[in-house]
Amino acid sequence: MAKPQDRQLVEQWRSMQTTYFQTAGALERALESKFNIGLTEFEILDLVAESADAACRMKQLGERTPMTQSAMSKVVDRLDKAGLISRQSCEDDRRSLYLELTDAGRALHRQAAVEHRALLRENLGTD
Amino acid sequence: MAKPQDRQLVEQWRSMQTTYFQTAGALERALESKFNIGLTEFEILDLVAESADAACRMKQLGERTPMTQSAMSKVVDRLDKAGLISRQSCEDDRRSLYLELTDAGRALHRQAAVEHRALLRENLGTD
DNA sequence: ACAACTTATATGACGCGTCATTGAATGACA
DNA sequence: TGTCATTCAATGACGCGTCATATAAGTTGT
């Protein structure tokens, strides 16, 4: 009992939790105060911005994040209502949705990304 | 723009998010289904179990986890109601609280810890 | 001993994520 | 082509965490 390997695992886990929450918290606060969006919102913007190509994305996006389908749906809904993203139905499969940044969304993302990267560097940076 | 260093930071962050959520999810589900407690509950039990010594703990515990004071208070409340922990007022400072595992709490923690460590190994293990 | 401040925990309102379910569209196959 | 199963997205109920605040106890300075 109280195997040293276990202790080490637990330490590793806690340390991960700590950096995770610290970083997420910093990102959350900065994005919220400067751009009025939450971290999850930004993360979706970021994913959509990355895939400049087309595709019935809603689904594929889900594969690139640990978010639930349900969560995705709600975040996208918020982004839509905020006018940052637009959902367009897919013609070859009318269950799916295309996601696209609006101009406002693209602009906001460009600015927010700078802040985001800076904070990542600050929190995860190996410098 | 699109600096490769930035990309690398983002990758690092996403990968961390993924392992964090996967691991937390696995822990959550296992603890919930086998012991009827959430991950946070277990984590508090774990912390209390570790500090076998005395102290006005509620506060000090807060320093060992990224949880909010408010969150702590509520988790402890749940654990108390579940009969796993007991809150006793501190005599030298009646604002503070001693936390102590009940027998049930200690027993549950002993079993749950095995599961917990196993899942950590499975998810974070470098083997 | 009295104000004004600080510290330890609790609580209420609120937002977000999760689970389970629904609705709609598609696929598979006789 | 009609049925049954499957897949994509949306929704409502619910739980937990957060922020702002409340309450109570301790501290400090005069």
Higher-scoring residue by pLDDT: B102, B4? B102
How far is A33 from A19, CA to CA, in rounded Å?
21
CB of B122 nearer than 7 A to strand C: no
pLDDT tens, A20-51? 999 999 999 999 999 999 999 999 999 999 98
Q: Which residues of A touch B66 (CB under 8 A)?
A: 17-18, 21-22
Q: Closest Cα of chain B to A56: distance in Å?
A: 22
Pairwise CA distance, residues B64 & A39, whole Å: 25
Residue A11's pLDDT is 94
In the predicted model, is pLDDT for residue A75 greater than 80? yes
Q: Domains of chain B: which residue ranges?
A: 4-124
**What's the Å distance between residue B46 CA and nucleotide D25 C1'?**
29
Give the whole-angstrom CA distance, residue B116 versus residue A9: 10
User: Where on strand C do bases come within 7 A of a protein Cβ?
Assistant: 7-12, 16-20, 23-27
pLDDT for res B1: 60
CATH code for the domain defined by B4-124: 1.10.10.10
Q: Is the pLDDT of residue B57 over 90?
A: no
Look at residue B43 in the predicted model and tell me its pLDDT. 97
Whether the pLDDT of residue A60 is over 70: the answer is yes
Q: Whole-number Å distance, CA A36 to C1' C13?
A: 20
* Residue B40 pLDDT grade (very low, low, confident, very high; cuts 50, 70, 90): very high
Higher model confidence: residue A46 or residue A57?
A46
Lowest mean pLDDT among A1-15, A50-64, A79-93: A50-64
**Whole-number Å distance between alpha carbons of B118 and B55:** 30
